[in-house]
Amino acid sequence: MSDFVKNFMADLKAKNPDQPEFHQAVEEVLESLSIVLERHPEYRSAKIIERMVEPERLIMFRVPWIDDQGEIQVNRGYRIEMNSAIGPYKGGLRFHPSVNLGILKFLAFEQVFKNSLTTLPMGGGKGGSDFDPKGKSDNEVMRFCQSFMTELHRHIGPDTDVPAGDIGVGGREIGYMFGQYKRLRNEFTGVLTGKGLNWGGSLIRPEATGYGSVYFAAEMLATRGETFEGKTCLVSGSGNVAQYTVEKLLQLGAKPVTLSDSSGYIYDEEGITSEKLEFVMELKNIRRGRIKEYAEEFKSAVYTPVDPKLDYNPLWNHKADAAFPSATQNEINAKDAQHLVDNGVKAVSEGANMPTTLDGVKIFLDNKILYGPAKAANAGGVAVSGLEMSQNSQRLPWTREEVDQKLHNIMKSIHKTCVDTAERFGTPGNYVNGANIGGFLKVADAMLDQGVV
Ligand code: NDP
């Protein structure tokens, strides 16, 4: 670690204590940027990094709501408007009990680089609440979403800040929040993305993150002359990203064998087929049940509950060719990464945000794994959100094929940026450096152009 990174991190930690995920995200980027800062002293003298780690605006608010028993509940709401150098703030809302400032700041920080990589004009932001939609009735979720938007509406807008979904925020939650925004503002605008198809949403938006992560992995494999045909794949999570990762893998002839939720995971040695995936979608999106039921329905599958005593995740310890972490941050530690390497995994494509610890990333890089970091590999979701914004502005919906083609082209272009940038800065094949530097340069140059703001 260079002296600059060491000193910068010490200051960052002192100024932002108790935010380990934020520290982790910044440290990873800084490690990549050392060489850029050496070549371009103008970024140092303009204090670009110091400015990038400080949110432009941070909004925290009370979200009171009434549950089905008539009890008043109080949650905390957040929106982090991180960087608007290249466009309006853009990034998802996460509803999960683990949500806190440090987690949202790491997500918002990553989002700035990711959005820049998409080639679309979007700044970075993130938000959410410690509200847990699990086990709540639709009416409770609606009352929460309405209260959340009653405060958030004054800070967002189609040219200011355009939130979307993330963990715990899917079509249902976006619908309730959009309805409340429209009622409060008396405006029908593209203020949120991930909307329903018949009220301004884009085709392929639900699929985009999972499809994009597989498109990215396919590009990585192609650099070694390989395809997904017949490849065994490990997928974690069973939400939006995991479901469409499995769908695209099946379309490309691969054999996905795992899925998980926060209670445990299933391993299906015969492979998760389209019919089995349909069961998962109904289970997770409609019945809102647990992944354990998969193993009760399909006898070829084994369910393993989470064992808090283990210091590794057994999901990552099966023989496979590729891995798609698609649940949450830090779900692959150094031990898991070593298991993946030992089991013959050639490619890892991150559907989730920062799913691999810094030690884990080092193991992938040292072993020359085709490792697609989240900023690049999961940018398909926000890219199609950007396309949804364009369609809303034009008031013209595009066809499924048109959006999918654009998504595919964007993922190819992100892959190319990563490869070319990594090479230009002397680390060929290092997608971490490629993504961090590629995302940084565009934002940093825009910040230089716009003066000290
Ligand atoms: P969903 O809420 O649809 O699904 C999340 C899945 O991950 C669920 O299976 C959930 O299980 C599991 N999960 C969540 N938290 C934990 C945890 N702490 N431990 C173990 N499992 C957990 O979210 P998405 O699929 O949308 O998001 C998944 C990841 O992808 C996140 O990291 C998100 O930031 C990232 N992402 C999402 C994008 C999108 O477009 N949706 C875009 C880019 C990135 P359970 O139901 O038990 O909680």
Say if 437 falls within a structural domain.
no
Question: What ligand 1 atom has the least distance to the C-alpha of 306?
Answer: 20
Best of 241, 304, 411 for a ligand 1 pocket test (most atoms within 8 Å of beta carbon): 241
How many helices and strands (H and E) does the chain possess? 17, 13
Do residues 169 and 284 both lie within one domain?
no
Which pLDDT belongs to residue 1? 73
Say if 221 falls within a structural domain.
yes
Do residues 174 and 213 both lie within one domain?
no
Question: Among 372, 394, 424, which residue terminates a domain?
Answer: 372
The protein residue whose alpha carbon is closest to atom 44 in ligand 1 is: 352
Question: Among 315, 341, 372, which residue terminates a domain?
Answer: 372
Q: What is the pLDDT of residues 159-210, one digit of tens each?
A: 999 999 999 999 999 999 999 999 999 999 999 999 999 999 999 999 999 9
Say if 197 falls within a structural domain.
no
Question: What ligand 1 atom has the least distance to the C-alpha of 385?
Answer: 40
Question: What ligand 1 atom has the least distance to the C-alpha of 328?
Answer: 32
Do residues 248 and 165 both lie within one domain?
no
Residue 166 CA to ligand 1 center (angstroms) comes to: 7
Residue 349 CA to ligand 1 center (angstroms) comes to: 15
Residue 135 CA to ligand 1 center (angstroms) comes to: 16
Best of 129, 240, 285 for a ligand 1 pocket test (most atoms within 8 Å of beta carbon): 240
Question: What ligand 1 atom has the least distance to the C-alpha of 168?
Answer: 2
Best of 100, 113, 167 for a ligand 1 pocket test (most atoms within 8 Å of beta carbon): 167
Do residues 247 and 172 both lie within one domain?
no
What's the structural domain count of the chain?
2
Do residues 224 and 116 both lie within one domain?
no
Do residues 337 and 306 both lie within one domain?
yes
Say if 448 falls within a structural domain.
no
Cβ neighbours of residue 155 closer than 8 Å, sequence gap 6 or more: 57, 59, 79, 81, 161
β 255-256/232-235 pair status = parallel
CATH at residue 359: 3.40.50.720
Residue 364 CA to ligand 1 center (angstroms) comes to: 22
CATH at residue 46: 3.40.50.10860
Question: What ligand 1 atom has the least distance to the C-alpha of 169?
Answer: 2
The protein residue whose alpha carbon is closest to atom 3 in ligand 1 is: 239
For residue 188, report the phi and psi dihedrals to the nearest 5 degrees.
Answer: -105, 95
pLDDT < 50 positions in the chain: none
Say if 198 falls within a structural domain.
no
The protein residue whose alpha carbon is closest to atom 23 in ligand 1 is: 167
Q: Write out residues with Cβ below 6 Å of ligand 1.
A: 165-168, 170, 209, 237-241, 261-263, 326-328, 351-353, 378, 381
For residue 327, which of 280, 265, 257, 282 has the smallest C-alpha distance? 265
For residue 238, which of 193, 268, 198, 215 has the smallest C-alpha distance? 268
Does residue 138 sit in helix, strand or coil? Answer: helix
Say if 390 falls within a structural domain.
no
Do residues 105 and 245 both lie within one domain?
no
Residue 213 CA to ligand 1 center (angstroms) comes to: 14
The protein residue whose alpha carbon is closest to atom 32 in ligand 1 is: 352
Say if 323 falls within a structural domain.
yes
Do residues 242 and 325 both lie within one domain?
yes
Question: Among 188, 216, 237, which residue terminates a domain?
Answer: 188
**Which are the catalytic amino acids?**
126
Do residues 33 and 179 both lie within one domain?
yes
Residue 252 CA to ligand 1 center (angstroms) comes to: 23
Burial 366-381 (b: 16+ CB within 10 A, else e): eeebbbbbbbbbbbbb
Which pLDDT belongs to residue 403? 97
Residue 42 CA to ligand 1 center (angstroms) comes to: 39
Q: Which two tokens stand for residue 325?
A: 């972490």
State the burial class of residue 173 (Cβ atoms within 10 Å of its Cβ: 0-12, 13-18, 19+): buried
The protein residue whose alpha carbon is closest to atom 37 in ligand 1 is: 166
Do residues 217 and 360 both lie within one domain?
yes
Do residues 184 and 287 both lie within one domain?
no
Do residues 21 and 92 both lie within one domain?
yes
Say if 357 falls within a structural domain.
yes
Which pLDDT belongs to residue 39? 93
Residue 211 CA to ligand 1 center (angstroms) comes to: 15
For residue 127, which of 184, 173, 165, 172 has the smallest C-alpha distance? 165
Spatial separation of the C-alpha atoms in residues 346 and 139, rounded to whole Å? 45
CA distances to 136, 204, 392 from 397, in Å: 33, 12, 8
Which pLDDT belongs to residue 2? 84
The protein residue whose alpha carbon is closest to atom 41 in ligand 1 is: 166
Domain assignment of residue 62, given as a range: 2-188
Question: What ligand 1 atom has the least distance to the C-alpha of 260?
Answer: 9
For residue 131, report the phi and psi dihedrals to the nearest 5 degrees.
Answer: -70, 140
